[in-house]
A and B are shown apart, each in its own frame.
Chain A
Amino acid sequence: GDSVTQMEGPVTLSEEAFLTINCTYTATGYPSLFWYVQYPGEGLQLLLKATKADDKGSNKGFEATYRKETTSFHLEKGSVQVSDSAVYFCALSDQGNAGKSTFGDGTTLTVKP
C-alpha cells in the first residue's frame, strides 16, 4: 500500500538557518503530494502541494519539488523564523484509493531566536 516516510524529529534550528525536512513516498499510482503545517493548538493547514512529476510547490518561502525518480518531496526554506515553529506533515493522495490521504509521522521544528 501507499506509505510516506519523513525525517524524524525534533529539529531545532536558529533563526535564519536553512531548513530541509526529507520526505520519501511509496505509491502504486500517480499521487499528488502535499506538505501540511500544524501550529500549536491548531488543526493542519495545507502549506504547499504538487500534483505531477517535476512540479514545484511553494508558499511562505517554503518549497518542495515532486521528484518521481527518487520518489521524494523534500521541504526546504532558505531562512527560517521563530514563527515557523510547528509540526510539518508530508502526505500523498491517491485519487484511485477512495481519495485517501496517507500522512507521514510529522516532524517537529523549533526555531530559536
Chain B
Amino acid sequence: DTAVSQTPKYLVTQMGNDKSIKCEQNLGHDTMYWYKQDSKKFLKIMFSYNNKELIINETVPNRFSPKSPDKAHLNLHINSLELGDSAVYFCASSQRSRGRGEQYFGPGTRLTVT
C-alpha cells in the first residue's frame, strides 16, 4: 500500500563509516529525488533521476553517491560520514512526463552521526 518507502527509518552511526539508504516507489513514476532536511526544517534537493538518468545534481559532497537500479528504486550511499551529515533524508517521486510536478514523499530516514 505504501507509495514511497524508505529504509531504514533511523540510522545511528559513527564518523567515518559508510552507510546506505534505500528508497522504493510503487506509483509507476518516472522521476525520483533525494532531499536533505536540516534541524531547522529547511529542505534542500540533492539529486534527481528521471528514467534512471541523473538529471539534477546539486552542490553535494562527492561522498554522496546516488544509484538508480531501475525506475522504482533510488538508493543513496554516503562514504566517510561526518557530523554535519546528521539530518533527515527524504526520498520523493513524481511523474514528470505527464504530471504537473507534485511530488510524493517517503517517511524519511533520520541519520545521526556521532
**Is the CB–CB distance between B43 and A103 below 8 Å?**
yes
Q: Number of contacting residues on A, CB 8 A?
A: 26
Encode contact with B along A71-111: 1 for CB under 8 Å, 0 otherwise. Answer: 00000000000000001010011110011110101101000
A43-B90, A106-B41, A106-B43 as given contacts; A99 in contact with B104, CB under 8 Å: no
A98-B48, A99-B50 as given contacts; A93 in contact with B102, CB under 8 Å: yes
Decide if A25 is an interface residue (CB 8 Å cutoff).
no
**Interface-centre pick from B92, B94, B103 (highest chain A CB count, 10 A):** B103
**Is the CB–CB distance between A98 and B50 below 8 Å?**
yes
Encode contact with B along A50-62: 1 for CB under 8 Å, 0 otherwise. Answer: 0100000000000
Decide if A46 is an interface residue (CB 8 Å cutoff).
yes
Q: Give complex CA distance A43, B40 in Å.
A: 15
Stretch of B13-21, B61-69, B72-80, B105-113 lying at the A interface: B105-113
Tell me the dominant secondary structure on chain A's binding face.
strand
**Is the CB–CB distance between A99 and B107 below 8 Å?**
no
Q: Give complex CA distance A84, B48 in Å.
A: 30
Query: What is the total of A-B residue contacts with beta carbons within 8 Å?
Result: 65
Decide if B27 is an interface residue (CB 8 Å cutoff).
no
**Is the CB–CB distance between B107 and A43 below 8 Å?**
yes
**Is the CB–CB distance between A99 and B42 below 8 Å?**
no
B100 / chain A contacts, CB cutoff of 8 Å: 32, 49, 51, 93, 95
Decide if B87 is an interface residue (CB 8 Å cutoff).
no
For the complex formed, measure the closest distance between the CB of A2 and the CB atoms of chain B, giving whole angstroms: 12
Interface positions of A (Cβ within 8 A of B): 31-32, 34, 36, 38, 42-46, 49, 51, 87, 89, 92-95, 98-101, 103, 105-106, 108
**Ordered nearest first, which 8 A-B pairs have the shortest CB separation?**
A93-B101, A43-B105, A99-B96, A32-B100, A44-B105, A106-B41, A98-B55, A103-B43
